[in-house]
Structure formats: C-alpha cells, structure tokens
Structure 1
Amino acid sequence: MHEEERVGTETPVTVELLLASPRARYVGRPADGPEPSSGRETHDRVEIRAGLGVVGDRYFGRPAHRQASVTVFAAESLETVARLLGSGPLDAAATRRNVVLRGTDVDALRGETFSLDTGEGPVVFRAHRAANPCAWMDVVLAPGAFRALRGRGGVRCEPLTSGALSLGPAVLRVRSADSAEPVAGV
C-alpha cells in the first residue's frame, strides 16, 4: 500500500500478541542464551500511558526510551522470515516487541501518527524509527533471522495518548506526519 493510500484510512487489523516484560532478557552475549523469564510477559490486555509506554514493561517511563517505549511489529514479517529461512513457525514473543499486529505493513508506519482501537477507544502513537533486529534473533528465533528481519523488524513508537489495548480485532487509523487533516482517533 502506498503512503497516499494509507493516509486517513481505517484498516481492520488483529492484535495477536501483547508483551510487557518487567526486565530485559537478552543481555550479555547471545551465545550464553537469554535470561529466564521473571514472570508473565504476554498479556490479553495492556495499559498504555502517554509519554511513558506500556505499564509493567522494562522501558516504561525511561527517559532514554520515551520516543521508543512501545514497539509494534507485523506478524506477517515473522512468517516471511520463517519462509525465507525454511524454518517452521517462529515465536513472535521472542522478538520482544510489545504489540504484534496482523493485517498491515507495520514498517511503513515509520514517521506516521496512528491509532489502534481494540474496543476501549483509540490509543494514539507516533512511529519514530525502525525497531532494528539484533544478533539475539539468530539464537532465539532461527539461524539467519537477524539478517532476514532487517527492514521488517517493526517500529519504535511514542504513545501520545493513554488507554488500553487488548488481543483480537482492532482498527488502525493513520494520519500522515504532514497532514493538517485530523483523522478520528488520531
């Protein structure tokens, strides 16, 4: 979809995964393996706070991460990587992205203001930069995943409004960064 086709559009999507991890698990050398989980990391519903991120996540309220506190990723990107690598299904939670969507080109959102509404009202985000993959992807997903995810690792976003996101059907609304026309929920 070209940018001009996305501006002011409503796209039905599905929220397939919501992750709020209280601590980083990919520390040190990838060859040593990830740190163990310190509790539940995937959720049916998460709270988002404007300018702070996902409540309960390791990057919540961290000044260095304010414009990158929420990472959004496309489920289709992981399927493409699995196909390229000839592997079986890959675990979306292993990417450590907060929100995994199905039904839109998430990487094309970079530079855009968009909202997600899962039924409790829209949560507005500004997609600032790519969420580049790291060498850990070769360990936790499959050999070659680090390279295969380049250009399809999702986007790092800043939440502009507070609200909640839940698993299941959602509506994505996009407004171009230079558009003066407001879009409902954006």
Structure 2
Amino acid sequence: MRLARLVGMVEVIALMVSAVHAYEGRPTEPPRPDPEPVSRSEVRVRAGLGIVGDRYFNQPAHRAASVTFFAAESLPAGDPLLTRRNVIVRGIDVDLLARDRADFSLDTGDGPVRFRAHTAATPCRWLDTVLAPGTAKALRGLSGARCTPLDDGTLRVGAAAFTRLT
C-alpha cells in the first residue's frame, strides 16, 4: 500500500488559468489558441468557486472539480501545461489524493489554502495530439485530481508546504 506524504516541502512548478476550453472539437484538429497566456506566477483561489479567471470558476456543474492538480512526475517528458491542469506540482502523489478523496493544504508563502480532492482527472485523447500518440492511455490513473478549494487564498510558483489533512 502506498502512503501519501503527510507533511513536507514540495514544489509548485506551474500554475495555469485558462479562460476558454482549448481542447474542444476533434483531437485530429489543432486546439483552439488561448486568447492570452495561460501560465501564471500566482493565482487567486476562492473557496467553493475555483481559480479567479479560469473557465471553471463559479460554474455550478464544476464546483466539485473547479481546480485540477497534476503531478509533474506523471509526465517525465513533455510540457505538463499541455495537460491543461491548473496546478502542476512535484513531490505529491496527486493521484492517491484523488483515490482517497483526501483533504490537503498547500502553502506557497501566503498562508495555507485547503482543498478537497473529489475525483481523478480523466486524460483525454487530445493529449495524443498535443504531446505524443499513446499519452492518454499512459496517463490513465496518473492524470491528476479534480478538487474543490475550501479556503480563499493565493498560490505561487515555487517552494510550498504540503499537508495531508485526511
């Protein structure tokens, strides 16, 4: 049985806010270009609503999945931003958090922000187009966690304190 790290220092390597859904239509066609850069050095999180400016912010159908986390270790080659997950981290077993539906906090210097992992994020076939053929299949069970923020706060790229709460 694998145990998730309970407390420790991790790294937030990327933050992404996307106002539009770039991966729609057929994966055999190129994705829609983002109207503005999606990579951020910091993001504002609102409890129960998500990341300010993201396409899933305050969307009732996505409240239990408004913030997505992805472990960089799951994609050793390629750009993890192409997974379109909001928070890319190194040093956390994100997929175990999803399986356990765990509560956890991340503190990047402005105080801890708590999240509740609800479900695993499902890899889509677009990953075969934007990364490499077979990526979607390879990431089954390793594609991240869909989470609800439990606190308002700020996340920044860089070192972070991680605490598993449940």
> Do both proteins adopt the same fold according to a TM-score greater than 0.5, normalized to the shorter chain?
yes
State the shift of 1:2 in Å: 3.3
User: What does 1:93-112 align with in structure 2 at a 5 Å threshold?
Assistant: 93-110=81-98, 111-112=101-102
Aligned residues: 164
Alpha-carbon distance between aligned partners in 2 of 1:112 and 1:169, rounded to the nearest angstrom = 21
Alpha-carbon distance between aligned partners in 1 of 2:152 and 2:13, rounded to the nearest angstrom = 20
Alpha-carbon distance between aligned partners in 1 of 2:89 and 2:78, rounded to the nearest angstrom = 15
Alpha-carbon distance between aligned partners in 2 of 1:102 and 1:17, rounded to the nearest angstrom = 10
Q: Quick check: 1:151 aligned with 2:141?
A: yes
Aligned with residue 120 of structure 1, among 102, 106, 110 = 110
| Amino acid corresponding to residue 159 of structure 1 in structure 2 | P
Larger radius of gyration: 1
User: What does 1:55-74 align with in structure 2 at a 5 Å threshold?
Assistant: 55-74=52-71
CA contact (8 A) 1:11 1:104 kept: no
User: What does 1:1-186 align with in structure 2 at a 5 Å threshold?
Assistant: 2-3=2-3, 6=5, 9-79=6-76, 89-110=77-98, 111-176=101-166
CA contact (8 A) 1:123 1:161 kept: yes
State the shift of 1:120 in Å: 0.2
| Amino acid corresponding to residue 56 of structure 2 in structure 1 | Y
The structure that is strand-richer by fraction is: 2
Q: TM-score normalized by structure 1?
A: 0.86
The structure that is helix-richer by fraction is: 1
Structure 2: give runs of 5+ residues left out of the alignment.
none
Q: Which runs of 4+ in 1 moved over 2 A?
A: none
Deviation per CA, 1:41-90, whole angstroms, max 9, x where unpaired? 100000000000011101000000000000000000011xxxxxxxxx30
| Amino acid corresponding to residue 65 of structure 1 in structure 2 | H
Alpha-carbon distance between aligned partners in 2 of 1:139 and 1:158, rounded to the nearest angstrom = 29
State the secondary structure of the residue aligned to 2:39. coil
State the shift of 1:104 in Å: 1.6
Q: TM-score normalized by structure 2?
A: 0.96
Q: What's the RMSD between the two structures over aligned residues?
A: 1.1
Percent of pairs identical after alignment? 53
State the shift of 1:33 in Å: 1.3
State the shift of 1:10 in Å: 1.1
